[in-house]
């Protein structure tokens, strides 16, 4: 696989193009405008967060170029939706564009639909070995993520329409974090897809997203979980805003790595069969269609390093939050304990790979099993165990 | 990397084992599995719960294994200790080698060894040493130049050695975090318990009587416990769970609760829990007022004070007692305090009245079952809407109490103070159950136009008063005659039927009538007879009420649907009171709320160490993952040069880096 890399390595600033600077200006202008509008209402923390968030967004766009289009696009869509509300939540059911596209629920339903379509497209592309279909799959994944992020932004705004004391960032319950999970997993996949030129694995990664989408649909149609609820006192904390997203970068990358693990196992199985059959044999079905095992292996490793870093940070932030809310940074609450278990699991994985130098099958299996452990920490604890995190119940 | 000049004795093989990767991975795995145990089994429950759940044998076994508090059990701490030991040994073992490696430039590399590297190439052309040095500098390498005896010049360059630093950061961080955790853990306490210096108290006795051996001094390094304080009361100790009992931890200050408050959102969900407290230093007497909220603890003297729970703090109550055995008696006023027990004498018998919690807000979901029978478009509509009107309603204050008779038998009651409106009529609700595990059965007593139960009680008194039956029956019969429901010939018989039905109903309500039917009436006639009884009762109840009103000197109830419904509800109420099982009906009429706030207090001096370790951990992980250690060698000899590269990992990135550097160096050659 040829990697598209320029041989030049000039310093960061020299590498920035006019588009980069334009994007940065746009983000900073938006932040400045926000400040002019709401500056008086912000306290120090909020001002610091505004500044930090804008710089972070600029950095994100410089680091990952598609973000320069993706983020402003979802911002514009969200602003469009918000402006249609005229401050009245009921318009979500009457104004055409809100009702069918831009109210948070409609946008999220679009996200769900687009993810389904993307999955189908990726599989069709894999079966027919069609690059065009797989490109379409990527495109659909991008649009699904776009609608998802837009939906989250609009939901954030809607929560304030319900009541000024109700408004909060939409990362406060299982429904909201599931949308976040789909979004983050998809975006991380899109990043690696481009970096490794390995679009073929999309068929696998999208499966886990589809599963999450299925859950979202069940959860909102059957359980009405999409209702916006105000925050109970335990959740009214700064820590929530960073702890939860950090956690979901972790969960997203672990899920991603598990799906890559499955893909790698299938390729390796084909390779083994070919070996048994002697050198003349055709490569197997998956081996013909998927990237080489070591490429998938490296993607998986990269995903786990990102996941591990963010999961570490999230756990530490969780501890700091717990120290504010529950009277101690560590209480051996089931959710905390399972976070530790997940963390230990991937720490062991990393050691085996980096220190012992293992590669291939055993680690791929381990990554697949890792998702079982991770899902239990994410969902199982809420379903089967009780504890201080009980507001996350199904 | 390791130098094994050591004697290969037992000590060194133990060191070898403990600092080995194998052992570390094993420990990580064991720790993970051990942690699962404590999440599956609920921790720190009262011991009787466990005994009940597992039976005596397994209860003992699990107790011995320490499964009720896994994370503080000896074996768990031993695993942790081994992890700390293993990580420390790993650092001492790898550390010196890593430091040496970080410092070294590997400038002894020979042409042969460079040629053997995976990323190595020989280029044609001559290049000035200054140009190489300049290039390496621009690329951010640190390097060493070595003029070799054979006339060749070797540039040994390195970049990203901070990667190795990451190893130190991350692994030392783990040791630091564990030490911090250990300081805050209850290890000293466990040791105290082991040698018998500290003995948990298992009895439920007043704080002041708890013996010295169960008390911990205010100088205790770290602790975590709870105390519940009622409004305008103080506390200077907290209680710490310890196995089957508890310990009393003295505080360096006194906490007085001025006020506890709860705010609610519009939809009835709680929005704020907060306590206004005053902290008085025991030594200096200095008073500090403060407010503690969830997520906003107060820190005094290194002790963090948290809002943990809340409840009733013993509120004065006013109740109206209706003697159910003597329905004609006027109600008496009764005073009490929630959460307290007081004697009650009724009809010559002694009872204990044990008040439970006063709850001022009772938020109930009054919406019916969520419809399954929704159409598709209704469901779509719901799925689009982020706000649903929940039928959450505050049904007002309630008090629960147990009434225990001389034999120790108790029934539990729950009395609501405010009327509840159902289908346009108001009721007073009272729940009753004979066992704690059962759900409450609710009694609905209809309220009169003034919103009181007095009229109902008057109706009941008249219904149970056989002295009035003649008059009532006469009235009912007269009406029946007038309405031509009966013939004059039947008058006598009808009148006695009315009296009989009233008497039977007074004895045991509807079920007494039913029982009579079951025992005396052939099955095929029961339905018809039952209907007759019901009709008679429904007719007579109007007259019962009229007579009761007249006797009380009050105007009769208006004859309309609303009041007729009142009377029918009244019949149901009177009937249900037969199963109420209490000698008195205690109606909550007033209270003065005194709340209590549950505060948790912790002292955790290891916290900063843990945070510091966490910061180191994050820095370490970033360095290890995202700083790549690369070595680059440029060996110039005559008209040729050799470029070689190595990295500790990430071979794919190395491929492109190597290509880039060779291309650039080639460019320099061409430019020269
Ligand atoms: C709680 C236990 C431990 C945790 C969570 C932990 C975590 C980590 C992490 C996250 C890495 C990064 C992988 C990398 O990118 O290099 C690492 C590397 C490493 N760990 Fe551990 N570690 C633990 C215990 C140990 C122990 C006990 C040893 C000793 C055998 C050890 C030896 C190493 C080594 C040699 C490396 C590779 C360093 C390098 O080559 O840069 N670790 N560890």
Mean pLDDT of chain A: 89
Q: Is B19 in the pocket of ligand 1 (CB under 6 A)?
A: yes
State in Å: Cα A74 to ligand 1 middle. 40
A324 touches chain B (CB under 8 A): yes
Does the beta-carbon distance from A224 to B388 stay under 8 Å? Answer: yes
| Helices and strands (H, E) in chain A, number of each type | 15, 0
B363 touches chain A (CB under 8 A): no
Tokens of B117: 């590297």
The number of the ligand 1 atom at minimal distance from the alpha carbon of B24 is 27
Is a pLDDT exceeding 80 seen at residue B25? yes
- Which residues, listed in sequence order, are joined to residue B240 by a DSSP beta bridge? B247
Instruction: Give the other-Cβ count within 10 Å of A319's Cβ.
Output: 22
pLDDT digits (tens, 9 = 90+) for A153-163: 999 999 999 98
pLDDT at res. B10: 81
* CB neighbour burial string for B87-110, b if at least 16 within 10 angstroms, e if fewer: bbbbbebbeeebeebbeebeeebe
B31 touches chain A (CB under 8 A): yes
Q: How far is CA B256 from CA A209, A322, B234, B260, B520, in A?
A: 53, 25, 4, 11, 68
A173 touches chain B (CB under 8 A): no
pLDDT at res. B672: 64
SS3 B233: coil
A329 touches chain B (CB under 8 A): yes
Question: Which residues, 6+ apart, have CB-to-CB distance to B133 below 8 Å?
Answer: B143, B145, B155
Residues of B in contact with A89 (CB under 8 A): 386-387
Does the beta-carbon distance from A316 to B618 stay under 8 Å? Answer: yes
Q: Is B647 in the pocket of ligand 1 (CB under 6 A)?
A: no
- Which residues, listed in sequence order, are joined to residue B280 by a DSSP beta bridge? B254, B287
Is a pLDDT exceeding 50 seen at residue A278? yes
**Confidence category of residue B419, pLDDT binned at 50, 70, 90:** very high
Q: Is B624 in the pocket of ligand 1 (CB under 6 A)?
A: yes
Q: H-helix or E-strand containing A23?
A: helix A18-38
Residues of A in contact with B43 (CB under 8 A): 332
ipTM over 0.85: yes
Please state whether beta strands B215-216 and B245-264 pair in parallel, antiparallel, or not at all (unpaired): parallel
What is the C-alpha separation between A31 and B126, in angstroms, rounded? 54
Residue whose C-alpha is closest to residue A267's, from A245, A243, A292, A242: A292
Is a pLDDT exceeding 60 seen at residue A391? no
pLDDT digits (tens, 9 = 90+) for A169-209: 999 888 999 999 999 999 999 999 999 989 999 999 999 99
SS3 B6: coil
Is a pLDDT exceeding 70 seen at residue A256? yes
Which among B265, B267, B607 is the nearest to A329, CB-wise?
B607
Tokens of A133: 């279909």
Which among A220, A221, A313 is the nearest to B618, CB-wise?
A313
Q: H-helix or E-strand containing B271?
A: strand B270-281
Phi, psi of B544, rounded to the nearest 5 degrees: -55, -45
What residue of B is the nearest CA neighbor of A100?
A: B384
B491 touches chain A (CB under 8 A): no
Best interface-test mutation with A: which of B22, B23, B37, B39 has the largest number of A CBs within 10 A? B39
What residue of B is the nearest CA neighbor of A323?
A: B295
pLDDT digits (tens, 9 = 90+) for B482-528: 888 888 888 889 999 999 999 999 988 999 998 998 888 888 888 88
| DSSP label at residue B329 | S
What is the C-alpha separation between A309 and B622, in angstroms, rounded? 7
Pocket-testing residue among B29, B170, B171, B613, ligand 1, by greatest number of atoms within 8 A of Cβ: B171
Tokens of A251: 């969960």
The number of the ligand 1 atom at minimal distance from the alpha carbon of A305 is 15
Residue whose C-alpha is closest to residue A32's, from A67, A159, A24: A24
| DSSP label at residue B354 | E
Predicted model pTM = 0.86
Is a pLDDT exceeding 60 seen at residue A394? no
What is the C-alpha separation between B158 and B144, in angstroms, rounded? 9
Instruction: List the 553-592 stretch of B: residues with Cβ below 8 A of A.
Output: none
Contact B613, B174 (CB under 8 A): yes
What is the C-alpha separation between B623 and B166, in angstroms, rounded? 5
pLDDT digits (tens, 9 = 90+) for B184-236: 877 778 788 888 888 888 888 888 888 888 888 888 888 989 999 999 999 99
Does the beta-carbon distance from B39 to A327 stay under 8 Å? Answer: no
What is the end-to-end Cα distance of chain A in Å, rounded? 45
Does the beta-carbon distance from A348 to B28 stay under 8 Å? Answer: yes
What is the C-alpha separation between B658 and B654, in angstroms, rounded? 6
pLDDT digits (tens, 9 = 90+) for B450-488: 999 999 999 999 999 999 999 999 999 998 888 888 888
Q: What is the mean pLDDT of residues B606-624?
A: 95
SS3 B428: strand
State in Å: Cα A332 to ligand 1 middle. 24
pLDDT at res. A7: 40
Q: Is B414 in the pocket of ligand 1 (CB under 6 A)?
A: no
Q: H-helix or E-strand containing B596?
A: strand B595-603
Using alpha carbons only, what angle is made at residue A306 by residues A300 and A307, rounded to the nearest 5 degrees? 85
Q: H-helix or E-strand containing B312?
A: strand B303-312
pLDDT digits (tens, 9 = 90+) for B379-416: 777 878 888 766 667 888 999 999 999 998 999 999 99
């Amino acid at each position: 696989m040829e990697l598209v890399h320029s041989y030049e390595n000039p310093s960061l600033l020299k590498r920035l193009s006019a588009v980069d600077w334009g994007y940065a200006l746009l983000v900073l202008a938006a932040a400045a405008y926000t400040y002019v509008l709401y500056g008086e209402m912000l306290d120090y923390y909020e001002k610091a967060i505004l500044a930090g968030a804008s710089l972070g967004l600029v950095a994100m766009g410089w680091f990952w170029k598609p973000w320069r289009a993706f983020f402003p696009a979802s911002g514009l869509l969200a602003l469009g939706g918000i402006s249609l509300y005229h401050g009245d939540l009921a318009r979500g059911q009457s104004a055409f564009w809100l009702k069918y596209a831009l109210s948070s629920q409609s946008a999220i339903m679009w996200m769900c639909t687009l993810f389904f379509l993307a999955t189908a497209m990726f599989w069709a592309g894999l079966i027919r070995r069609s690059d065009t279909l797989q490109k379409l799959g990527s495109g659909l994944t991008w649009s699904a993520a776009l609608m998802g992020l837009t939906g989250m932004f609009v939901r954030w705004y809607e929560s304030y329409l319900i009541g000024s004391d109700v408004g909060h960032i939409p990362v406060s319950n299982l429904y909201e974090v599931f949308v976040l999970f789909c979004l983050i997993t998809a975006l991380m996949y899109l990043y690696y897809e481009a970096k490794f030129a390995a679009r073929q694995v999309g068929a696998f990664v999208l499966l886990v997203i589809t599963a999450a989408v299925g859950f979202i649909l069940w959860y909102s149609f059957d359980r009405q979980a999409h209702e916006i609820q105000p925050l109970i006192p335990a959740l009214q904390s700064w820590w929530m805003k960073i702890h939860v997203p950090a956690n979901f970068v972790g969960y997203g990358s672990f899920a991603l790595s598990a799906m890559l693990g499955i893909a790698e196992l299938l390729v390796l199985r084909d390779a083994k069969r070919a070996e048994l059959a002697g050198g003349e044999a055709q490569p197997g079905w998956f081996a013909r269609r998927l990237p080489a095992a070591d490429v998938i292996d490296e993607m998986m490793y990269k995903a786990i390093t990102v996941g591990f870093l963010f999961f570490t940070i999230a756990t530490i932030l969780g501890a700091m939050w717990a120290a504010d809310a529950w009277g101690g940074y560590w209480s051996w609450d089931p959710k905390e304990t399972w976070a530790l278990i997940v963390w230990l699991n991937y720490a062991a994985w990393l050691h085996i790979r980096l220190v012992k130098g293992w590669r291939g099958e055993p680690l791929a299996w381990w990554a697949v099993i890792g998702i079982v452990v991770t899902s239990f920490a994410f969902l199982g604890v809420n379903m089967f165990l009780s504890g201080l995190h009980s507001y996350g119940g199904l | 990397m390791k130098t094994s000049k050591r004697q290969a004795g037992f000590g060194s093989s133990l060191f070898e084992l403990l600092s080995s990767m194998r052992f570390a991975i094993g420990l990580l795995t064991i720790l993970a599995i051990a942690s699962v145990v404590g999440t599956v089994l609920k921790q720190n429950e009262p011991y009787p719960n466990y005994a009940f759940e597992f039976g005596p044998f397994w209860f003992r076994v699990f107790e011995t294994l320490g499964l009720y508090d896994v994370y503080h059990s000896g074996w768990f701490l031993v695993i942790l200790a081994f992890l700390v030991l293993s990580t420390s040994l790993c650092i001492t073992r790898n550390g010196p080698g890593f430091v040496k490696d970080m410092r070294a430039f590997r400038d002894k590399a020979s042409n042969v060894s460079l040629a053997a590297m995976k990323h190595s190439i020989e280029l044609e052309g001559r290049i000035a040493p200054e140009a190489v040095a300049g290039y390496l500098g621009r690329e951010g390498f640190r390097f060493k130049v070595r003029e070799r005896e054979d006339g060749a010049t070797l540039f040994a360059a390195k970049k990203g050695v901070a990667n190795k630093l990451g190893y130190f950061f991350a692994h030392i961080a783990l040791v630091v975090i564990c030490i911090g955790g250990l300081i805050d853990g209850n290890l000293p306490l466990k040791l105290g318990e082991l040698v018998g210096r500290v003995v948990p108290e298992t009895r439920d006795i007043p704080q002041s009587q708890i013996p010295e051996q169960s008390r911990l001094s205010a100088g205790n390094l770290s602790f975590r416990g709870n105390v519940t304080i009622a409004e305008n009361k103080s506390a200077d100790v907290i209680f710490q769970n310890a196995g089957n009992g508890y310990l009393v931890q003295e505080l360096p200050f006194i906490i007085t609760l001025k006020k506890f408050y709860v705010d609610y959102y519009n939809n009835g969900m709680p929005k704020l829990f907060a306590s206004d407290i005053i902290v008085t230093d025991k030594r200096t007497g200095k008073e500090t007022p403060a407010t503690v909220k969830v997520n906003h603890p107060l820190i005094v003297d290194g002790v963090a004070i948290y809002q943990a729970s809340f409840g009733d703090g013993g509120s004065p109550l006013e109740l109206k007692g209706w003697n159910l055995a003597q329905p004609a008696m006027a109600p008496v006023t009764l005073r009490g305090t929630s959460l307290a027990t007081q004697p009650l004498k009724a009809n010559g018998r002694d009872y204990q009245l044990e008040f439970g919690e006063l709850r001022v807000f009772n938020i109930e979901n009054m919406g019916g079952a969520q419809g399954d029978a929704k159409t598709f478009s209704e469901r779509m509509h719901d799925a689009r809407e982020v706000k649903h009107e929940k039928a959450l309603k505050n049904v007002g204050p309630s008090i629960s109490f147990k009434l225990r008779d001389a034999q120790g038998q108790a029934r539990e009651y729950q009395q609501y103070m405010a009327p509840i409106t159902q289908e346009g009529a108001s009721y007073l609700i009272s729940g009753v159950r004979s066992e704690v595990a059962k759900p409450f059965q609710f009694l609905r007593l209809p309220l009169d136009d003034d919103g009181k139960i007095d009229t109902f009680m008057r109706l009941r008194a008249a219904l149970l008063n056989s002295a009035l039956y003649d008059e009532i029956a006469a009235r009912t019969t007269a009406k029946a005659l007038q309405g031509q429901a009966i013939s004059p010939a039947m008058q006598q018989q009808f009148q006695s039927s009315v009296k009989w039905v009233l008497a039977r109903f007074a004895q045991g309500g509807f079920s007494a009538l039913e029982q009579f039917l079951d025992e005396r009436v052939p099955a095929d006639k029961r339905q018809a007879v039952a209907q007759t009884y019901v009709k008679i009762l429904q007719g007579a109840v109007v007259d019962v009420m009229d007579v009761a009103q007249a006797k009380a000197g009050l105007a009769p109830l208006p004859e309309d649907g609303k009041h007729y419904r009142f009377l029918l509800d009244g019949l149901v109420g009177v009937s249900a009171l037969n199963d109420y099982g209490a000698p008195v009906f205690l109606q909550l009429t007033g209270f003065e709320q005194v709340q209590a706030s549950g505060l948790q207090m912790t002292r955790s001096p290891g916290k900063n160490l843990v945070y510091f370790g966490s910061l180191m951990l994050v820095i370490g992980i970033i360095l290890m993952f995202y700083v790549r250690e690369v070595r680059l060698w440029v060996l110039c000899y005559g008209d040729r040069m050799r470029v070689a590269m190595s990295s500790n990992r990430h071979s794919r990135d190395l491929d492109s880096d190597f290509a880039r550097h060779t291309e650039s160096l080639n460019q320099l050659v061409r430019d020269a």
